[in-house]
Amino acid sequence: MFRAVTLHRMLKLAAAPIALSVLSACGGGGGGGVGVADGGIRGTGSSVGPVSGFGSVFVNGVKFETDGRVSSDDGIEREDQLQEGMILRIEGEWRVDGRGNAESVEYDDTFRGRVDNLTQTLDADGMVESVQFTIYEQTVVADQQTVFKDIALETLADGAFVRISGWREPDPNGQYRASHIGLMTQDETNVEIEGRIDEGSLQLNLNQFSINGQLVSYTDSAFAGSLTEADLADLLLVEAEGTISNGVLIAREIDEGETRRYRRGSGDDIEFSGPVSTDYNASDRSFHINGLIVFVDDNTEFDDGLSASDLTAGMLIQVEGDFQDNGSVLAEEIEAREGNASVDGVLDVNTLNFNDQTFRVGGVLVQLTPRTIITDDDSDLRLKLEDLNGSYQVEVEGIERQSGSGVTLEAVKIERNEEDTTPASPRKYELEGQLSDIEDSFYTILGVRIDISLVDFDDGERSSIESAFSQGASVSLEIDYVESPPGVYVADEIELESED
């Protein structure tokens, strides 16, 4: 039985998608090398971003050689204790060949504590798209791009004790976006939160303040490094680690929050990722991100067809640039890191190409890059493309790219599930992406031509989709489909995706 398209979900009326170039890579997340000719030094300074692979450590698409040590006060001292999605700060140098040398590797949890008030956002099929919850009054969101360890997006629930690595979002209530969530043994003598000190809550005479309503008590000996009590009033963000007792966080250490990750280090160069904090300001050609002011000029390279006007609050991007004398950053290169498409189904093992770092799922060509994260909730292995060499069910979140050779899904995250030992016939797939072509009873999405003739459209629904597409609207669809016979794809459900 075929379900009709439901038009209560909105058409995206943005401009039609622009052509995007494919990043070529000879190694993927998880440890391959990159296929770029050797060259000289590209940057010397700080690189801040999530771990995407190991051997030694991949951050921001660069394979950094390390000595195995990690600087942290959160119980992580060695590289082999790191996990994908954890946000690191690396001091060192990186080259145009995609390799680098790390002088130091630093890690700091954003949150540790108990999950409360969790709510789920479901898609039309009842699957979990994202969750929102609190940790001691601090709001956190997680979605399909979040990397989970020993727990999953679908199973995360109130009472779970977790560690989180993430970014502060441009939200008036101080919401954070999780890059990594890992399950821990519950221990409320070892919690951590961060955020802005609530206005009017700092009481120096009582040694206390609150962060988004969570009361924090401290002693004069709690301040880390050169930080003092007098600095509290001027901090953009503050972090507190300690013990929860009768609802109060008794801090044994207080430090500056995540903005310290992005301070100028040993060199003037910096590369980092994170969500844009403020929309691009055309008058002075700037925007805010991670506590930094970033300027663009005529020499700034926007990869993948981006332009400065596309930089809106909440968009996940990667920036490479130089610190200026006033502490701002002049961007040399900016690219998108926000997933906008996906495919779910059994990997076609016959299409695995280890040289090109590609494979196909349901006809969709998936491209790995050094930023791709490969995970498996049931395994402690650090996975590489070679570990997908089987009939695995995979979920791929990524970025739709257009090149001269066609459409690819550049993988941001690949989740490997159980191996399909009893393949269904016909095999079933699900994809989300932009409608790129209509020809009679065929829609083309993510480079896959899909027969829609069996979908039972309600009156006017198909014409509404096709009219919007013909007028240049960007129409995002979710399609459940089968492959029967091999190489022929037939839709059985279509849903319009609402604009986030």
Greater confidence, 324 or 378? 324
Q: What is the pLDDT of residues 149-158, one digit of tens each?
A: 999 999 999 9
CA proximity to 43, closest of 254, 320, 247: 320
Run of H or E residues at 463: helix 461-470
Q: Exposure pattern of 183-215 as b/e (b: 16+ CB <10 Å)?
A: bbeeeeebbbbbbebbeeebeeeeebbbbbebb
Average pLDDT score over residue span 261-269? 89
Please report which confidence band the pLDDT of residue 378 belongs to, taking 50, 70 and 90 as the band edges. low
Beta strands in 150-277 (DSSP E): 161-168, 176-183, 191-195, 208-211, 214-217, 238-245, 248-256, 269-275
Burial group, residue 68, by CB count within 10 angstroms (0-12, 13-18, 19+): exposed
- DSSP calls for 424-460: -SSEEEEEEEEEEEEETTEEEETTEEEE-TTS-PPTT
Q: What is the pLDDT of residues 435-455, one digit of tens each?
A: 999 999 999 999 999 999 999
Say what the pLDDT of residue 379 is.
Answer: 64
Average pLDDT score over residue span 182-196? 97
Say what the pLDDT of residue 123 is.
Answer: 82
- The residues, ordered by sequence, that sit 6+ positions from 277 with a Cβ below 8 Å of its Cβ are 170, 287, 288, 289, 290, 291, 313
Say what the pLDDT of residue 151 is.
Answer: 93
Question: Is the CB of residue 268 less than 8 Å from the CB of residue 323?
Answer: yes
Question: Does the predicted model carry a pTM greater than 0.85?
Answer: yes
* pLDDT at 500 > cutoff 60: no
- C-alpha 475/C-alpha 497 separation (Å) is 8
Q: What is the pLDDT of residues 164-179, one digit of tens each?
A: 999 999 988 889 999 9
* β-pair type (62-65, 57-59): antiparallel
- C-alpha 129/C-alpha 142 separation (Å) is 9
DSSP-assigned beta bridge partners for residue 211: 197, 214
- The 3-state DSSP class for residue 215 equals strand
- The residues, ordered by sequence, that sit 6+ positions from 59 with a Cβ below 8 Å of its Cβ are 47, 48, 49, 50, 51, 52, 88, 90
CA proximity to 412, closest of 367, 439, 373, 356: 373
Q: Exposure pattern of 283-304 as b/e (b: 16+ CB <10 Å)?
A: eeebbbbbbbbbbbeeebebeb
SS3 content of the chain, % helix, strand, coil (to 5): 5, 50, 45
- C-alpha 396/C-alpha 341 separation (Å) is 8
Say what the pLDDT of residue 125 is.
Answer: 78
Q: What percent of the chain has pLDDT over 70?
A: 90
Say what the pLDDT of residue 457 is.
Answer: 83
- C-alpha 284/C-alpha 263 separation (Å) is 22
- C-alpha 238/C-alpha 230 separation (Å) is 13
Greater confidence, 261 or 426? 261
Q: What is the pLDDT of residues 5-56, one digit of tens each?
A: 433 333 333 333 333 333 333 334 443 333 333 457 789 999 999 999 998 8
Average pLDDT score over residue span 200-218? 96
* Region of residue 73 (left: phi > 0; alpha: psi -120 to 50; beta: else): alpha
Instruction: Supply the mean pLDDT for the chain.
Output: 88
Run of H or E residues at 464: helix 461-470
Write down how long the chain is. Answer: 500
- The torsion angles phi and psi of 276, rounded to 5 degrees, stand at -60, 135
Q: How many helices (H) and strands (E) does the chain have?
A: 1, 34
- The residues, ordered by sequence, that sit 6+ positions from 230 with a Cβ below 8 Å of its Cβ are none
- The torsion angles phi and psi of 167, rounded to 5 degrees, stand at -125, 150
DSSP-assigned beta bridge partners for residue 148: 181
The pair of structure tokens assigned to 351 is 């299409």
